[in-house]
């Protein structure tokens, strides 16, 4: 910083601003307006080492580590639930290769539909597309149209690491450090010709590569009666009292 500029800055006030515009712009770069325009949450998000997950999922997985690949089993609500908290916190989420994405369900789980980019038909060039999307989106949910080769997988993993985003794969991904899967499902609210679907109790299992991740499992409402995700009690037998307890939160038992 030149002596003149320092003097002008020290003086401050309107006079200095009008008199020393050129000097000032050289001395201290003007704050980037684009950066200011972001929400404070977004700025925080950018500095975090991992993206947040829904409170109900935190016992299974504390967060989505940046630069990592997660395999989330077959395409379903679990993928969306994993992305929900980060999306609500301001992260952009791209969904690749899922033409049947239920956006209403995604919104009910907690994703922000305004921050979603959808590429339903990525075509044969999908690895390149994923690379492009990872440049700008914190989260990419990928349903691979084809099984990638080992070489392709390594290249994509390297890309994810470099970009600092998170790749959620709906499907199998060999060598993924964290894998989640729905092991059991039990639908509530529907009988034999009566009622309606009110929620699903699902046993979600997390396994990981190496000793870092111990296998864990939790029962979750996936989804609960209002479409959200919450923790559920363990399995219950289908006796009268127990099934009343098995109603998702927010539901009254009318029996």
Partner 1 sequence: MRGERARDRVLVVWCPDSPGEEGSAGPRALAAALAEFSPRVTALDPQACAFPARGPARYFGGEEALAGKILEALAARDLSCRVGVADGRFAAELAARAARGEAAGQPGSRGHPGAQVWPGSLGQRVTIVLPGESATFLARYPVSVLDDPVLADLLPRLGLHTLGDFAALPPADAASRFGPRGALAHRLARGLDPRPLVPSPPAADLSVSQEFDPPEPQAEVVVFAAKALAGQMHAALAARGLACVRVRARVVFSGGGESSRTWRHDGLLSALAVAERVRWQLSGWSTQKLIQNGSPAPDAQAGGISLLRLEPEQLVRATGRQLGLWGDSVVSDRVARVALRAQAMLGHDAVTRPVLSGGRNPSDQVAFLPFGESGEPRFSPDLPPGPGPGRLLPGPWPGRLPPPAPATVYPAPIPATVSDASGAPVTVSGRAVASASPAFLAEGDGPLMSVTGWAGPWPVTERWWDPARATRKARFQLVTEDGRAWLAAVQGSRWLIEAAYG
Tell me how far the alpha carbon of residue 124 is from its chain's centroid.
25
Residue 103 makes contact with partner 1 by CB under 8 A: yes
193: contact with partner 1 by CB under 8 A:
yes
Distance CA 184, CA 148 (A): 28
In this structure, which long-range contacts are made by residues 44-48, counting pairs with CB atoms below 8 Å and at least 24 apart in sequence?
44/89, 45/86, 45/89, 45/90, 45/91, 45/138
- Binding to partner 1 by residue 32, rule CB under 8 A? no
Q: How far is the CB of 33 from partner 1 (least distance, A)?
A: 8
Interaction of residue 123 with partner 1, rule CB under 8 A: yes
Taking the alpha carbons at both ends of the chain, their separation in whole angstroms is: 77
Task: Tell me if 158 sits within 8 A of 172, measured CB to CB.
Answer: no
Phi, psi angle pair for 200, to nearest 5°: -135, 125
Which is nearer to partner 1, 213 or 243 (by Cβ)?
A: 243
Which is closer to partner 1, CB of 68 or CB of 87?
87
Count of residues in contact with partner 1, rule CB under 8 A: 64
* HSE-CB of 137 using CA atoms within 13 angstroms: 25
- Minimal CA–CA distance to 157: which of 136, 133, 135, 131? 131
Look up residue 55 and give its DSSP letter.
G
* Identified binder of partner 1 from the candidate list 31, 49, 191, 234, rule CB under 8 A: 191
Interaction between residue 180 and partner 1 (CB under 8 A) = no
Using the contact rule CB under 8 A, the part of the chain among 20-28, 71-79, 171-179, 232-240 near partner 1 is 71-79
Instruction: Answer yes or no: are the C-beta atoms of 50 and 65 closer than 8 Å.
Output: yes
Neighbours of 193 (CB within 10 A): 5
- Least separation in angstroms between CB 182 and partner 1: 8
Residue bearing tokens 């109790």: 201
Nearer to partner 1, 20 or 90 (CB): 90
Interface with partner 1 by CB under 8 A: which range of 12-20, 33-41, 172-180, 237-245? 33-41
What is the x/- site pattern for partner 1, positions 207-226, by CB under 8 A?
---------------xxxxx
Q: Min. distance of Cβ 195 from partner 1 in angstroms?
A: 5
Residue 66, classed as helix, strand or coil, is coil
190 is an interface residue for partner 1 by CB under 8 A? yes
CB of 255 to partner 1, least distance (A): 17
Q: Which residues bind partner 1 (CB under 8 A)?
A: 34, 37-39, 42, 75-77, 80, 90, 92, 99-108, 113-125, 128-129, 132-133, 135-137, 182, 184-187, 190-200, 202, 222-227
């Amino acid at each position: 910083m030149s002596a003149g500029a320092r003097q002008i800055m020290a003086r401050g006030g309107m006079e200095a601003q009008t008199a020393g515009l050129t000097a000032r712009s050289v001395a201290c770069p003007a704050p980037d307006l684009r950066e200011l325009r972001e929400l404070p949450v977004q700025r925080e998000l950018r500095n975090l080492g991992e993206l947040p997950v829904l409170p109900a999922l935190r016992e299974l997985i504390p967060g989505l580590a940046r630069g990592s690949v997660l395999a989330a089993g077959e395409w379903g609500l679990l993928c969306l639930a994993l992305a929900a908290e980060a999306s609500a916190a301001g992260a952009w989420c791209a969904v690749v290769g899922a033409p049947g994405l239920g956006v209403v369900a995604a919104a009910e789980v907690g994703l922000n539909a305004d921050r979603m980019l959808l590429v339903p038909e990525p075509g044969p060039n999908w690895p390149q597309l994923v690379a492009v999307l990872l440049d700008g989106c914190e989260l990419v949910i990928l349903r691979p149209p084809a099984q990638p080769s080992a070489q392709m997988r390594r290249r994509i993993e390297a890309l994810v690491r470099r970009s600092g985003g998170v790749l959620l794969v709906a499907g199998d991904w060999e060598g993924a450090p964290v894998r989640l899967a729905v092991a059991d499902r039990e639908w509530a609210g529907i009988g034999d010709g009566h009622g309606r679907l009110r929620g699903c109790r699902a046993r979600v299992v997390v396994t990981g590569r190496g000793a870092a991740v111990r296998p864990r499992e939790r029962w979750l409402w996936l989804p609960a009666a209002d479409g959200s995700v919450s923790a559920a009690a363990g399995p219950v037998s289908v006796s009268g009292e127990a099934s009343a307890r098995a109603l998702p939160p927010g539901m009254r038992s009318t029996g």
